Amino acid sequence: MLLLLTVLGMPARSQCVSFKLSDRGDTLNCVDKQGLKQGNWLIKVPELRGQPGHDEEGTFKDGRKEGIWRSYNVQGDVLSVESYKWGLLNGKSQYYSVLGLEREESWWAIDPSKKYDTVDVPDLYEDGKYTKVVVKNEFYSMKHGKWTWYDPQNGFVQRTEDFFRDSAVNPLGMFGVKVREKPQRADSILAGKKPAKPNIVEAWEKKNAGKKKVVVRDGSAGF
């Protein structure tokens, strides 16, 4: 299995407190004087609790994963191709079985230098409407963009789902529902409108319109 190396960002060996050399003499697994991982890394993950071992390769920048990372099983088959920024998933990631591509994900990494970030949350009832919400940055990635699930045997799309800043654009889309309908009564209250009157009430008001006083019997027997 060939390790894909990028020359840019490769640390000089003099900056490494510890490192390894590949079969071609390239510097791998560099740890700098501050104890941070830098440059190209090849990580071997051993078998654990019944889970098979695998290999990972990619680039570290100041102790965080950066750019494209790939993982392989012990036979050399690709398990995943992930994109990172600031040590967080960012952009498109793909996951495979021995049969082929199973899933594509899309992520949005929040800049860890920000304490807070503004997130647009989509309205569940009205398509294209969003509400801005300020959230505390807890150093994580948000689902953002289209997610696609495939049948790995034939490559056909099984289903898709769209996300916008960690919220499903249409959470009922997988059931064939385009947009969730608003309850009429809730809409009227929120808009400051009175609920629609029953037909019998509207007919009575129309019949007695213009009269100065209308006596209404309520059915009680009083003296």
**Tokens describing residue 17:** 């407190």
Q: Average the pLDDT over 4-23 and give the result.
A: 68
Q: What angle do CA 50, 52, 157 make, to 5 degrees?
A: 110
What CA–CA distance (Å, rounded) separates 120 from 164? 7
Q: Does residue 220 register a pLDDT over 70? A: no
The pLDDT score that the predictor gives to residue 212 is 59
How many CB atoms sit inside 10 A of residue 183's CB? 11
Tens of pLDDT along 109-162?
A: 988 887 776 666 666 666 667 777 676 666 788 899 999 999 999 999 999 999
What CA–CA distance (Å, rounded) separates 180 from 185? 15
Kindly list the structural domains of the chain, giving each domain's residue range(s) and its CATH number in brackets, ordered by start. 13-109+141-207 (2.20.110.10)
Tens of pLDDT along 186-195?
A: 454 455 555 5
What CA–CA distance (Å, rounded) separates 7 from 16? 16
Average pLDDT, the chain: 79
What CA–CA distance (Å, rounded) separates 45 from 112? 27
The pLDDT score that the predictor gives to residue 189 is 47
